[in-house]
Structure 1
Amino acid sequence: MKIDLTETTSSKINAALVQARRDIGTPAIGMVLTLVIVTDEENAYDALKSANDAAHEHPSRILVVIKRVSRSPRSRRDARLDAEVRVGADAGSGETVVLRLHGELVNHAQSVVLPLLLPDAPVVVWWPDDAPPDVARDPLGALGQRRITDTYASENPQDALTQRAAAYAPGDTDLSWTRITPWRSMLAAALDQQPVKVSSVAVEGEAENPSCELLAMWLADRLQVPVRRMSSDGPGLTSVRLETKDGDIVLDRADGSLATLCMPGQPDRAVALKRRDTAELLAEELRRLDPDNIFEAALKFGVSKLGAESPAAAPAKAEAKAAPADSPETVTGPKADSAPAKPAAKPAKKAPAK
């Protein structure tokens, strides 16, 4: 069932939701959360489709906030709210309200959304494309226990990661981080099977893919070893190489769907590592509503070292440069383990004259 409301209010939208549920014979509310999608007209269809697919696992009330920027000064002064209410088969497993805000109402979106939130249910706010610099302080973001962004949709993903780290608050997350969950699980399982000391890491992927940066930050933070960031033609992440004294552990995915795991002393094995769509990523994030401390640690550890040759090697280089050329601290590698030089022999004493 679809109900179009023009020049309406939040109270009229609530009344329309109640009436629509009665008309289709389901007066009870069986939803577990409210998902607020903040987007524009161009990306609204794709975002709503992904949210409806994710709602099959997480039945929710979906509120799509579309801010219609007026062109003329007169239109900007006028405030108008148009809504489209969808219940039943047209809304998947929950309820959907598409809100189009015009004029001055664009700056007060939270006043429209607040009366439509489900009582005593968590709120998740999702920006599919451009997100504000500080999502936790945004008026709509402040309504949510969980705030989801996607730096992959930004013009400059590295700058977006820098902003996310500077303004991070508990409850923030990013779909670029969600994309590497299978990679992190596979690499952690590989190290569990072979508990060896990793000396360095190489992460290879598309140059403008923030998931590659986040995976490199996570590895540098957890392993405390130098991590090299290398570029490839993609798609997405293509390879991770963990260098150890017993041989390299390599997880390589060249086609975006099937990967090969190579481990020393074991035959190569094929593992499913396909690129997931937005609905699967969103459904994963909706499974947990508590702060992601691992994401916070990875984001804050490496964000200041983006573009560096090795996040963990910079301090070592600075120490080596500060030490004198003939100082013992500059000796590295095998020379550092060699036996110390014997002291020079003392000059022989002169025999007493007879």
Structure 2
Amino acid sequence: MMIDLTDTKSSAVNSALVEARHAIGSPALGMVLTLVIVTDESNQYDAMKAAVEAAREHPSRILVVIGRPGAEITPRLDAEVRVGDAGAGETVVLRLHGELADHAESVVLPLLLPDAPVVVWWPGKAPEAASADPLGVLAQRRITDAVAAPRRADWLEIRASAYTPGDTDLAWTRTTTWRSLLAAALDQRYDTINAAAVEAKAGNPSAELLALWLSDRLGVPVERVVSAGPGITAVHLRTESGDIAITRPDGVLATLSTPGQPDRHVALKRRDAAELIAEELRRLDPDDVYAATLAHAAEEAKARANGSSDDASPAAVEAAEHEAASVAVQAVPGSSTMAESADAAKAPAKRAASGAATKKTAKSGGSSGGSAGSRGSGTGGSRASKRTGGAS
């Protein structure tokens, strides 16, 4: 059922929603969150389609906010209320004309579901500081997409400086299965990792985030290699006995190669926006691994600017410590597995402190010892295994 409202107000939209629910015989709400999509006319169809598909898994009230600013345009609100057409939930398309487009929060606030989480998604152009945006302030989670939006060369530093718990990006979501598969590959015996490489199409934000995650977790240099695409095409972890490699030249099927073992084929297709949004809606708590990766990006940028390799920034240390606190067992590279690492986790505190000192010394000397590999495989594996899906 669809109801068109012209030159209306939020209270009339709420009344239309109640009327539509009663008309189709479902007066109860039964929705778990409000998803606010901030977009324009050119992107609204694809964004709304993806949100409706995601609502099959997460019944939601979807509010599509389309601004039509202009000083010469008379301020007014037009709305389309759709209930029961497709998916589970309700969809309201709000077109804000004139000066009203600069005050979208005043229109959206009365339409939010009571006592339910709010997620705001910018499928195209997004504010540099999403948490400071008037609509972003209303949300527990704020989703941007560096792939779809125009971005500056220092976009990662901007995201890191403006990061607030609850921020995330679909470019990061696209790396989830890559990170899960890499963690699984390290959940067995392997030699010390001394370098890594990520191959992807030029300018791919997901590839840069994946490279930063590997650099942060493994403590080794990560080379960025340009390929023909699509998206990320390969990741190589260099060891003395050979490369641990994941290659995906066609964007559908990947091959996992490990020294001394036969190659294995793994489904690793590139997912659409609906699958990515559905994954992000599965968890509404802050993503500490994403926060630590952004902090590491800022740390690397600062080191390049200073021409030195300073210690981690306070944001990177805080995010890494928060993430480490949630990890029960860390893998030890060389001749151990995750299962065998459980015994190492029970070692005395003195040994742990000694390992930390060795790791710091190795980092300042520019080497990448076993402890750095341990941090990459253990923390990355534990965290990545919680977030399934998402190839770039």
Give TM class, smaller chain.
0.7 to 0.9
Q: Give 2:159's aligned amino acid.
A: R
Superposition deviation, residue 229 in structure 1:
1.1
Q: Give 1:66's aligned amino acid.
A: I
Aligned equivalent of 1:232: 227
Aligned equivalent of 1:218: 213
Q: Does structure 2 retain, via aligned residues, the 8 Å contact 1:175–1:281?
A: yes
Q: Indicate whether 1:15 and 2:15 are aligned.
A: yes
Structure-2-length-normalised TM-score:
0.76
Distance of 2:41 and 2:299 partners within structure 1? 34
Larger radius of gyration: 1
Aligned to 2:48, the other structure's residue is in SS state: helix
Q: Indicate whether 1:69 and 2:64 are aligned.
A: no
Superposition deviation, residue 288 in structure 1:
0.3
Aligned equivalent of 1:323: none
Q: Give 1:24's aligned amino acid.
A: I
Q: Indicate whether 1:297 and 2:297 are aligned.
A: no
Aligned equivalent of 1:347: none
Aligned equivalent of 1:81: 77
Q: Give 1:286's aligned amino acid.
A: L
Aligned to 1:294, the other structure's residue is in SS state: helix
Distance of 1:5 and 1:189 partners within structure 2? 52
Give the alignment's Cα RMSD to 1 decimal. 2.3
Distance of 1:29 and 1:218 partners within structure 2? 40
Superposition deviation, residue 299 in structure 1:
1.4
Distance of 2:53 and 2:133 partners within structure 1? 27
Q: Does structure 2 retain, via aligned residues, the 8 Å contact 1:157–1:209?
A: no
Aligned to 1:193, the other structure's residue is in SS state: coil
Q: Does structure 1 retain, via aligned residues, the 8 Å contact 2:252–2:270?
A: yes
Aligned to 2:77, the other structure's residue is in SS state: strand
Q: Indicate whether 1:173 and 2:171 are aligned.
A: no
Structure-1-length-normalised TM-score:
0.84
Distance of 2:211 and 2:153 partners within structure 1? 13
Percent identity between matched residues is 64
Superposition deviation, residue 304 in structure 1:
5.3
Q: Does structure 2 retain, via aligned residues, the 8 Å contact 1:154–1:160?
A: no
Distance of 1:278 and 1:314 partners within structure 2? 39
Aligned length, in residue pairs:
314
Distance of 2:197 and 2:276 partners within structure 1? 25
Query: Structure 1 residues 41 and 164, CA, compared in 2 at 3 Å: closer, same or farther?
Result: same
Superposition deviation, residue 165 in structure 1:
1.1
Aligned equivalent of 2:353: none
Aligned residue runs from structure 1 range 93-132, under 5 A = 93-132=88-127
1:30-51, CA deviations, whole angstroms, 9 ceiling, x for partnerless residues? Answer: 1000000000010000000000
Aligned equivalent of 1:5: 5
1:310-335, CA deviations, whole angstroms, 9 ceiling, x for partnerless residues? Answer: x9x9639xxxxxxxxxxxx99x99xx
Superposition deviation, residue 206 in structure 1:
1.1
Aligned equivalent of 1:341: none
Distance of 1:209 and 1:178 partners within structure 2? 13
Aligned to 1:42, the other structure's residue is in SS state: helix
Q: Give 1:93's aligned amino acid.
A: A
Q: Does structure 1 retain, via aligned residues, the 8 Å contact 2:197–2:222?
A: yes
Aligned equivalent of 2:41: 41
Distance of 2:55 and 2:156 partners within structure 1? 28
Q: Give 2:201's aligned amino acid.
A: E
**Structure 2: gaps (5+ residues):** 311-363, 369-392
1:232-252, CA deviations, whole angstroms, 9 ceiling, x for partnerless residues? Answer: 111000111001122210111
Superposition deviation, residue 25 in structure 1:
0.4
Aligned to 1:202, the other structure's residue is in SS state: strand
**Structure 1: gaps (5+ residues):** 317-328, 334-354
Distance of 1:202 and 1:39 partners within structure 2? 35
The equivalent position to 2:237 in structure 1, one of 242, 255, 259, is 242
Superposition deviation, residue 94 in structure 1:
0.5
Q: Give 1:193's aligned amino acid.
A: Q
Q: Does structure 2 retain, via aligned residues, the 8 Å contact 1:238–1:252?
A: yes
Distance of 2:110 and 2:154 partners within structure 1? 35
Distance of 1:17 and 1:118 partners within structure 2? 12
Aligned equivalent of 1:339: none
Aligned residue runs from structure 1 range 142-153, under 5 A = 142-153=137-148
Query: Structure 1 residues 265 and 314, CA, compared in 2 at 3 Å: closer, same or farther?
Result: farther
Q: Indicate whether 1:270 and 2:265 are aligned.
A: yes
Distance of 2:143 and 2:150 partners within structure 1? 18
Superposition deviation, residue 163 in structure 1:
1.7
Aligned equivalent of 1:325: none
Q: Does structure 1 retain, via aligned residues, the 8 Å contact 2:69–2:99?
A: no
Superposition deviation, residue 95 in structure 1:
0.1
